[in-house]
Structure 1
Amino acid sequence: MDEDHISFLGYEFRGASVHPRGKVTPARIRDADWTAIVPEIRTVLGETLFVPRERKSDLEAFCRRHGIERVARPDVWEDLLEPFLDTRIAPDQESATLDRLRDAGFAAHEVSAIRRRLTPLMLAYNFDAMVWAWAYLGLFDLLHAANAPVVDPGLQADLGEPAAFYAWAMAIADRHR
């Protein structure tokens, strides 16, 4: 991280404003969360950019230096991707998840459509690629699955044009502020 911008080198998520290389200035940053599972920046346009964990203290220092607020927000993708975890989801837990999604503005038919669209990708990612995540899958995992070499490129291609898929995922993530 430089004094006046954050550089991204080799950013792996196709469609990102910083893919494969780019920078973000403080004026483009809405907020950040350096304490998140994977530290993140939220741009004023609603894009979530992820920062390597080993740079979390650098991200915190950068944000403090530029007066960028730390905002911890729920990852709506955690609830949307819950069925793809390597664990049994109890009915009361599933009901609570659907309640949170409803409260975030997601109708039941939309949740079903999102999950149906992502089923082949997320099953391939978490089970076929042997990730075996059992506690958490979120936006970072979804983007990783859509770009990782461990997932069949045909399944990734079925998602559509990478920039359009990325924009769709970001728009969903930004709905729950």
Structure 2
Amino acid sequence: MEVRFAEGHICFLRYDFRGATIHPAGTVTPDRIRDADWKAVTPEIRTTEGEILFIPREQRPDLERFCRRHGIARKARRDVWEDLLEPFLDTWIAPEDERATVERLREAGFPPEEVAEIRRRLAPLMHAYNFDGMVWQWAILGLYDLLSAANAPFVDSRLQDALGDPAAFYAWTMATAAR
């Protein structure tokens, strides 16, 4: 990912997530940005269309300055993908923590059957990414990690192809994140 901040726009010189409106490159102007979170684990902007676009961590200050200059509000959100992808972390999850995760997902509108289906669909991809790819993430796997797994060159392309059309998969991840 390569991003450049200009006075009146953010230029994504290289955005690796297939299906994104700015893939492989594109520009976003302030009028297309609903809000941003420069303090997130991976800084992000949310467009007026509901798309979440990520900014490299080392450019947090640039994103904050851009947003302040253009009156773009900071809004922190819980990444529902962190709960959906919890079973693929390289750690043991205590039963009480799993119950809390299930409850948060239920409150967000995810019935247990849907959670199980999402996890079943993504299990091969996330195992290949976090374990076979030796990422070994033990604390958080979120939307950024899911998109990384779906596009990482070290993940077997057959697993990525099994996700279906990249634009449709990307749209599904964004719609899920919006819940």
TM-score normalised by structure 1 residue count: 0.98
Matched, 1:126 2:147: no
Residue aligning to 2:81: 77
1:143 equivalent among 141, 147, 150: 147
1-structure distance, mates of 2:119, 2:108: 16
Residue 86 (str. 1) matches residue 63 (str. 2)? no
Which runs of 5 or more residues in structure 1 are unaligned?
none
- Give the gaps of 5 or more residues in structure 2: none
Q: How far off is 1:53 after superposition?
A: 1.0
Q: Percent identity?
A: 70
Q: Over aligned residues, Cα RMSD in angstroms?
A: 0.5
SS at match of 1:38: coil
- Aligned residue number for residue 159 of structure 1: 163
TM-score w.r.t. the length of structure 2 is 0.97
In structure 1, the residue corresponding to 2:45 is in which secondary structure?
Answer: strand
The alpha carbon displacement at 1:145 in A equals 0.1
2:49 to 42, 45, 57: 45
Task: Give 3-state SS (helix, strand or coil) of 2:154's partner.
Answer: coil
Q: Residue 13 of structure 1 corresponds to which residue in structure 2?
A: 17
Q: Which amino acid in the other structure matches residue 87 of structure 1?
A: T
Aligned residues: 175
Q: Which runs of 4+ in 1 moved over 6 A?
A: none
Partners of 1:10 and 1:39 in 2: CA distance: 16
Between the two structures, name the one with larger relative contact order (CA 8 Å, sep ≥ 6).
1
Shift of 1:54: 1.4
